[in-house]
Structures are given as structure tokens and as C-alpha cells.
């Protein structure tokens, strides 16, 4: 499939959007003041979300990827 970012962003509906939580986890009893919160859509904590396999499979099988001939 090659470079996946264009495919993934074109099929963002094939992910369950995680909208709550954060990746600001501390170590042991020490909380961390740094991190990112999950929000609607893409975010630094969860990206596009978690994959919905059936939708991703359908999108991947429908994707067209032209063969590039070597020059």
C-alpha cells in the first residue's frame, strides 16, 4: 500500500475516535504535568483513534494504488 498516511486520513471514519483521557501519566506516585488530552478528531494522545477493522479492510480492498514503473 505504500505510504499509509494519505490512506488513513482519507478513511478517518474507519477509526473509533477516543475523546476522553490523556497520556500525561506519571511514574509511580509522581504525577506528570506534561502530556496531551484526547479530543474530537486527531489528537497527539490517541492519533486518529483505535482501528475499526471491518471498515479498514473494506477501505483497503477498495483502494486503488497504481503501479509505478521504474524509469
Residues 13-33: b if buried by 16+ CB within 10 A, e if exposed: ebbebbeeeeeeeeeeeeeee
Average pLDDT over residues 46-55: 95
Q: Where are the domains of the chain?
A: 5-62
Q: Look up the pTM and report it.
A: 0.71
Segments in 1-71 forming alpha helices (H)? 5-10, 53-62
Q: Which residue has the higher pLDDT, 8 or 26?
A: 8
CB atoms within 10 A of CB 46: 21
- Identify the pLDDT of residue 71: 54
- Identify the pLDDT of residue 15: 97
Amino acid at each position: 500500500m505504500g505510504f499509509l498516511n494519505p490512506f488513513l486520513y482519507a478513511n478517518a471514519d474507519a477509526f473509533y475516535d477516543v475523546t476522553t483521557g490523556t497520556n500525561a501519566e506519571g511514574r509511580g506516585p509522581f504525577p506528570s504535568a506534561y502530556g496531551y488530552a484526547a479530543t474530537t478528531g486527531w489528537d497527539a494522545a490517541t492519533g486518529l483513534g483505535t482501528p475499526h477493522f471491518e471498515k479498514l479492510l473494506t477501505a483497503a480492498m477498495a483502494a486503488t494504488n497504481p503501479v509505478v514503473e521504474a524509469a
